[in-house]
A and B are shown apart, each in its own frame.
Chain A
Amino acid sequence: MTAIVNISLKSGVLDSQGKAVHHALDALNFKGVEDVRVGKQIVLKLTSTDKIAAKAEVAEMCESLLTNTVIEEYEIELIS
């Protein structure tokens, strides 16, 4: 099973990278962009075949290492 973890800054936390990208898009004349948030994606190949257990384990990984929950939030997607 594969787990895809999408990590982004929490909505109240200023995303300087997103702002810079937004400015650059604007400079390239892409005028229809309202907001840009830059995140990161971590892809995990798991041995587990149990979706519920896998999700719980990946959530634990996110809480302990993969994200800093002071500033970041995450979403987990599982693909079997």
Chain B
Amino acid sequence: MKVTIVQFPGTNCEYDTQYAFEKLGASIEIIWHKETALPADTDLLVVAGGFSYGDYLRSGAIARFSPVMNAVKSYAEKGGKVLGICNGFQVLTESHMLPGALKRNSNLHFISKHHHLKVASTDNTFLKKMEKDEIVNIPIAHHDGNFYIDPDGLKALYDNDQVLLHYCDEDGKISNPNGSIDSIAGITNKNKNVFGLMPHPERAMDTILGSDDGIKMLEGFLNT
């Protein structure tokens, strides 16, 4: 199992992501954004978190034009699995590989804390190892995580089972940290091979650091 991680100037979660997937037995290659091709044996492509291009203009807006993104797009179009975490999610929406957009958090604060999430759908390759309505505790750390999509787009997401995660409290009651429409924390594209989420499962790999709930989430991503 080979996980390829894209690194832009300003990416800062590539090594956490490497640690997480190595812990699960995958081999990792981190590639610089100037690359025009992905390693041929890539099983999962990760756009990691951070602050690509300093979040200038809008989060993810400039990374979208990096050479590697053409390769990422064609990889996804051929059915390859793409995961965008946090800034990676922002890059994927800016690239139109995922619908909607990520606005400034409604309270205007940078939010960094553990937050519970509820699994909305397991009918996809990413969360198939989890149970519907299962609750996990995963850190969030973002300024622009306020997911927005127009009403028609929202309906289409639900009709096609593309909403995978909602923010909730420890009892599973919906709890919205950032103003996201319908408390949405993660979605897929129509074909369900591109997944973006604001929370950081790669930071929830050890109980000593607060939670290891990221393990069962990321394990599913490796299972081909």
Contact = CB atoms under 8 A, between A and B. Distances in A.
Interface of A: 9, 12-14, 16-17, 20, 65-66, 68, 70-71
B148 A16 contact: no
Given A65-B57, A70-B101, A17 B148 contact: no
A14 B61 contact: no
Nearest to A9: B103
Contacts of B179: 14, 16
Interface size grouping (class) on chain B: 20 to 34
Contact of A12 (B58, B104, B150): B150
A71 B105 contact: no
Contacts of B61: 65, 68
5 contacts: A13-B103, A13-B148, A14-B179, A16-B105, A20-B108
Q: Residue among A14, A17, A70 with the most chain B CB within 10 A? A: A70
Contacts of A12: 150
B172 interface: no
B65 interface: yes
A68 B106 contact: no
A38 B19 CA distance: 41
B177 interface: no
Given A68-B101, A70-B100, A70-B148, A16 B58 contact: no
Contacts of B148: 13, 70-71
